[in-house]
Structure 1
Amino acid sequence: MDPRPVRHLISLDDLTDADLRHLVERGAQFSAGTAGPARPLEGRVAGIYFAKTSTRTRTAFSAGTLRLGGSIVTYGPGDLQTNTGETSEDTGRILSRMLDVLVARTAGDPAEMRAWADQRRMAVVNAMSADEHPTQALTDLTTLLRHFGRVDGLRILYLGEGNNTAASLALALTRYPDVEFELRTPPGYGLTEPVLTAARAQAARTGARLRERHDMAALPDGFDVIYTTRWQTTGTTKPDPGWRDVFAPFHVGLGLWDTSPKAVFMHDLPAHRGEEVAAEVLDGPRSIAFEQAENKLHSAMAVLEWCRPAAGS
């Protein structure tokens, strides 16, 4: 029996390699309809707290909880007493006496979630913080496994800002042997040094390859996946008024398929057609972005099941 009353997912660093593979494989089973009829959240309650906007992630965890037999309590950005000065630690202690799991999007410092997790009753799941989007990475790997039947050895090109989605992809993909992850990020908008250091250490351990450049020159060919995200990440602004000119070379257009004709296209959505991606790409035959979005639900169910919140303990 697992000695921990609950499991938290605040960072991908909270997962062992075995945990990561289990969650991805389990998400793929939910996606394929082979996960079985179990309702592990029967009689349990999930809090769904989103301080920032969300369509896919909030719906995925809400619907996922209900499909697994649980109930939900929802909170908006103005609902918690942290707005009136209550400490995050006190909020976590109180919520843990009423909820079995708390799914939270703050788009801020993950230290607040760590404070909520400083108890032994309620699981805490990061549905996006400023530095990381771990459940998005799990969704993406679930989608890769469903489409290709594997993650090991895939060649993935990422174009755009080194945001929390890119960081999570780097931290997740480098755990898989022989993966090649090429990032082309605008100057001044790359991955942070701590993420690069951690991902490179993992790549050295597993045999994955991680490269980041800040231009579009000498782009390799034959990628399996071309991935982008919207240029204006939720909850952020850019200090440079000319940032769109800096980002323009990293637009995903049909020309990228001249040298990677078999690549599928992925996007974490929402998308701005004509900005980071051409409509012909997003809505074209190589796009699996909307299957990817559906897998948010299946991946959320895998995470909720893995957390195994112990009601009443």
Structure 2
Amino acid sequence: MRHFLTLKDFTKDEILEMLSLAEEIKAQTKAGHHEPYLNGQVLGMIFEKSSTRTRVSFEVGIHQLGGKGLFLSANDLQLGRGEPMKDTARVIGRMVDLVMIRTFSQSTLEEFARYSNAPVISGLSDMYHPVQIMADYLTMQEYSRVENPVVAYVGDGNNIVHSWMMLASKLGFTLRVATPKGYEPDAQVTQDALVFAAQSGAVIELMNDPNKAVEGADVVTTDTWVSMGQEAEKEKRLRDFQGFMVDDAMMARAKAGAMFLHCLPAYRDYEVSEAVFEAHADEIFDEAENRLHAQKGIMVWLDRQKKE
């Protein structure tokens, strides 16, 4: 049984297989053909944290693959009244074919997967957001086939950058991460990424200077400075992140024609200027659409692993 909880669990070849499958299925979709790879299967979608893109992309995705999505909020389940996660996993995992969970804690995902009879996909946790980064890399591939891209991440050391670090360390490209002091990525994630990077030839650099990180980059990316659950810290974060907004001056340091990516929702004139966002809107919304296609590739790949 394979689960999709973090890119840490996959080899370079497996990640590229999923992306190739996503490209193939996307091409079929664009041609107006929906191959029923998951005909009659049910995807249980558990949401402890709300989302626009995650719900729509998974629900549409499983439908286009010939299956059905079952939306379950925490309020709909016994989880909301204290049932142990392992018991919920034992029940749901016997009734559905795949499970997607968008939750607060990575440990919740891991416990559910440990007791589930069905493959589990992370729709986001506090530690990782792997489906988003798969969509990001799919978008990068579509715009440019640079063998060893230089990606600059500017912002908070959060679940998005953790997944970027895992992807870079597995695929072997260069990732520069610029965060304010005190907002660096998790130490254990960093250590794991550096171990994988030593094997793949990836270069992962952590720094506190966003301008240095962006210099000559092929791709610049960022994320909101205030994620769900951090609203009480908003004013402090806005002060601490001064100088980290990706604006025209910062983008000018990147390679000519560099991409800008944002996982959305974007807060204009905070982490990214209105001008930069609108100049790169086509890339950003292709990236958003690619959540649908990347996740279809992941679901079909997991189903094939289950049958082998």
Same fold (TM over 0.5): yes
Please, what is the CA RMSD of the aligned residues? Answer: 2.3
Give me the whole-angstrom Cα distance separating, in 2, the residues matched to 1:7 and 1:90. 20
CA contact (8 A) 1:228 1:276 kept: yes
Matches within 5 A, 1:154-169: 154-169=149-164
CA contact (8 A) 2:214 2:251 kept: no
Give me the whole-angstrom Cα distance separating, in 2, the residues matched to 1:218 and 1:94. 50
Partner of 2:129: 133
Q: What displacement does 1:13 show?
A: 2.0
Partner of 2:106: 110
Give unmatched runs, 5+ long, in structure 2. Answer: none
Q: What displacement does 1:217 show?
A: 5.6
More divergent stretch after superposition (198-207 vs 295-304): 198-207
SS in 2 for 1:135: helix
Give me the whole-angstrom Cα distance separating, in 1, the residues matched to 2:45 and 2:148. 36
SS in 2 for 1:242: helix
Question: In the alignment, does 2:165 pair up with 1:170?
Answer: yes
Q: Deviations over 1:162-181 (max 9, x none)?
A: 1101100111112223x211
Sort the Cα spacing of 1:121 and 1:274 in 2 relative to 1 into closer, same or farther, 3 A: same
Give unmatched runs, 5+ long, in structure 1. Answer: 1-5
SS in 1 for 2:55: helix
Give me the whole-angstrom Cα distance separating, in 2, the residues matched to 1:219 and 1:87. 44
Give me the whole-angstrom Cα distance separating, in 1, the residues matched to 2:280 and 2:240. 29
Give me the whole-angstrom Cα distance separating, in 1, the residues matched to 2:9 and 2:212. 36
Partner of 2:209: 215
Q: What displacement does 1:228 show?
A: 0.7
Partner of 2:75: 78
Partner of 2:181: 187
Q: What displacement does 1:38 show?
A: 3.0
Q: 1:302 aligns with which of 278, 283, 297?
A: 297
Partner of 1:8: 3
Give me the whole-angstrom Cα distance separating, in 1, the residues matched to 2:281 and 2:73. 36
Name the aligned partner's letter for residue 136 of structure 2. D
Name the aligned partner's letter for residue 66 of structure 1. H
Q: Deviations over 1:60-89 (max 9, x none)?
A: 111000000001211113111012121111
Q: What displacement does 1:249 show?
A: 0.8
Matches within 5 A, 1:49-64: 49-64=46-61
Partner of 1:69: 66
CA contact (8 A) 2:97 2:118 kept: yes
Higher helix share: 2
Q: What displacement does 1:24 show?
A: 1.8
Q: Deviations over 1:141-166 (max 9, x none)?
A: 1111111135x300111100011011
Name the aligned partner's letter for residue 110 of structure 1. Q
Q: Deviations over 1:106-157 (max 9, x none)?
A: 1x2222222222346311111001111111111111111111135x300111
Aligned length: 304
SS in 2 for 1:252: coil
Q: 1:289 aligns with which of 284, 296, 306?
A: 284
Sort the Cα spacing of 1:9 and 1:267 in 2 relative to 1 into closer, same or farther, 3 A: same
Q: 2:263 aligns with which of 251, 268, 271?
A: 268
TM-score in terms of structure 2 length: 0.92
CA contact (8 A) 2:214 2:220 kept: no
CA contact (8 A) 1:100 1:310 kept: no
Partner of 2:18: 23
Give me the whole-angstrom Cα distance separating, in 2, the residues matched to 1:130 and 1:236. 12
CA contact (8 A) 1:123 1:309 kept: no
